Structure 1
Amino acid sequence: MSAATVAVRTGLHRGRIEFRQGVTSGQDLWMTLYFPVFALVVMFFLRGRTVPGTDFSLGAQAVPGILGMNVVLVGLVAVAMVLTMDREDGTLLRAKATPNGVLGYVVGKVVSRAGMTVLGLLVPLLPSAFLFDGLRLGDAAAWLTLTWVLALGLVAVLPLGIVLGSLFESVQGLSVVTLAGMALMGVSGVFYPVTALPEWLQWIAQVFPIYWLGLGLRSALLPDALVMAEIGESWRHLETVGVLGAWAVLGLLLAPPVLRRMARRESGARMAARREKALRRPM
């Protein structure tokens, strides 16, 4: 058995262990679920308002976008934060010292964070079935669409999380990523149909995976009549595959060299310097 195969098997085992730890950790569960729960509460109070031109609840229309945004937050931002913290406490340095340890480390993180991302998607769906009318949660075709959109979306965002975690040396530095994510959320049709925004903002939204994740999830969970609220009055499945696929290819091409470069630069001295800097940081 090759060393790489052993590393992948070790990473899969590590990922399962980290996922079990995550679902029993209050902090990890809070990070995974706080946004969709908060957003669902907001949308519940907006359920009396309707999508322009229809009698469909605005709150129900926003549910898929909220879930898509949570996939980005947990699958991209959280991966970057975990990678950055592992640099600070020496976990990544120990992985570097093991043959093919970085490969096993990456596989483990992808498996554990993918599991937490799926959990963050499925858990809010249960109360949504009772809070909002009109969602296609009893349709097998809807779950099939949900599956391929989620799988492609994870492949699109997880490698980007690794890239971002490799570029920033501290969790504080990642705050700009979180702020950028919140700004994109506002223009990506999460809380309101993107067609209500100026055309130039619609073009910006369509560059990033948040919009396409939301669109794919809306096509799975919302009735076909709601397609009139979308750009071009179409669910645009081919375009969804194309854009998410392009982000996935970009991430998969960038993540390995960026991570290898970062791992080569890691040393005990750099880790000690970061730790000393953190201790001097004002509380």
Structure 2
Amino acid sequence: MTASAQRTAARVGLRRGFIEFRQLWTNRDDLIGQFVWLAMIFGTLIFMRGAQLPGTSFSLGAATVPGVIGAGVVFNGLTSVAGALVIDREDGTLLRAKATPNGMFGYLVGKVTTFSMVQVASILVMLVPSLFLFDGLAPDGFFSILNLLWVLAAGLVATLPIGAAIGSLIQDSRMLALVMLPMLGLGAISGIFYPITSLPGWLQDVAQVFPMYWLGLGMRSALLPDQAVVVEIGQSWRPLPTLGVLLAWAVIGLVLAPILLKRMARRESGSSVAARRERALQRV
């Protein structure tokens, strides 16, 4: 692919990403799903507002907000991208992209654009009301937001390529549940709703292998006051390990995703799309 063709495909992908993002946030069903999810999360956080973070006078509900945001980046980055690839494979969108010059590259740029914008919008929807509901969030003002931005950027790079790699391996939309179950398990042990130091040491070690814990930790370092660090491992925000682990996952994803996506694209054909549609109709 020449540089000129690559730039053209990237522009097309960016435009596609903006269009898909606008469609997501103007679709009634998508909006209802987002509202129900946010209502559940805020209800849980408000219920926790009266409790205190162990060893501090800081609200447990406020301390949970950054972890929820970090977990949302992981959930959306992995499952949403994987789900979009599976759906686009089943309805023939990927086959059409494959048949277009530089179409797969533009398709990937579009998906990255769409879900990056979805992540930013979701964080704003979660964070802005939380700043009014809970005292003590973002204590350093502008510098807290700058800290959050680098954690978010590292989190997107660490999760979106992995999500694309997972999606390229899934042959059937029913298999998406196999992705969700491990995510829920990681959420339970990653210190999202309660300090990770309250868990057994071996569970802490398992959680630290995956990006969900580190994204939660990075978000807490950005949005919580210094007194909240007492419940963290080693009583430290550990910014360098956070960056290192997230970049390691980014490298894994950026290496695996192109290989697996090319392999998947080579196998796409009109007959394979027709066969998947036939199986879907039989399920209905």
Q: TM-score, normalised by structure 1?
A: 0.96
Q: 1:133-282, aligned counterparts within 5 Å?
A: 133-136=135-138, 139-281=141-283
* Structure 2: gaps of 5 or more residues: none
Say which is worse superposed, 126-135 or 145-154, in terms of deviation. Answer: 126-135
Structure 1 stretches of 4+ with a deviation exceeding 6 A read none
**For 1:33 and 1:211, how far apart are their aligned partners in 2?**
25
SS at match of 1:2: helix
Alignment check: 8 A CA contact 2:139 2:225 kept: no
Deviation at 1:204, TM superposition (A): 0.6
State the number of aligned residues.
282
Gaps of 5+ in 1: none
Corresponding letter in the other structure for 1:101:
G
Identity %: 56
1:39 CA drift (Å): 2.0
Q: Is the 8 A contact 1:32 1:117 kept in 2?
A: no
Q: Contact 1:129/1:137 (CA < 8 Å) preserved in 2?
A: no
2:101, 2:73 → 1: CA distance?
32
User: Do the aligned residues in 1 keep the contact of 2:139 with 2:224 (CA within 8 Å)?
Assistant: no
CA distance in 2 between counterparts of 1:71 and 1:190 reads 12
Kindly tell me: are residues 38 and 137 of structure 1, through their superposed partners in 2, closer, same or farther at Cα, counting changes over 3 Å?
farther
Change (3 A) 1:32 1:73: farther
AA at the equivalent of 2:248 = A
Deviation at 1:40, TM superposition (A): 2.3
Task: Write the distance in 1 (CA, Å) between the matches of 2:24 and 2:225.
Answer: 34
Equivalent-residue separation in structure 2 for 1:28 and 1:79 (angstroms): 15
Distance 1:13 1:99 in 2: 16
Deviation, 1:20, is 1.3
Q: Deviations over 1:52-74 (max 9, x none)?
A: 11111111111001011111122
Give the distance between the partners of 1:208 and 1:32, measured in 2 at CA.
26
TM-score normalised according to structure 2 size: 0.96
Equivalent residue, structure 1, for 2:108: 106
Counterpart Cα distance in 2 of 1:256 and 1:35: 32
Letter of the structure 1 residue corresponding to residue 158 of structure 2: A
Alpha-carbon contact 2:151-2:215 (below 8 Å) kept = yes
How far apart are the structure 1 equivalents of 2:153 and 2:32? 23
- Aligned alpha-carbon RMSD (Å): 1.3
Q: Offset at 1:26?
A: 2.7
Q: Secondary structure at the match of 2:167?
A: helix
State which of 5, 11, 14 in structure 2 corresponds to 1:12.
14
Per-residue deviation, residues 137-167 of structure 1 (Å, max 9, x unmatched) = 6611100000000011001000011011100
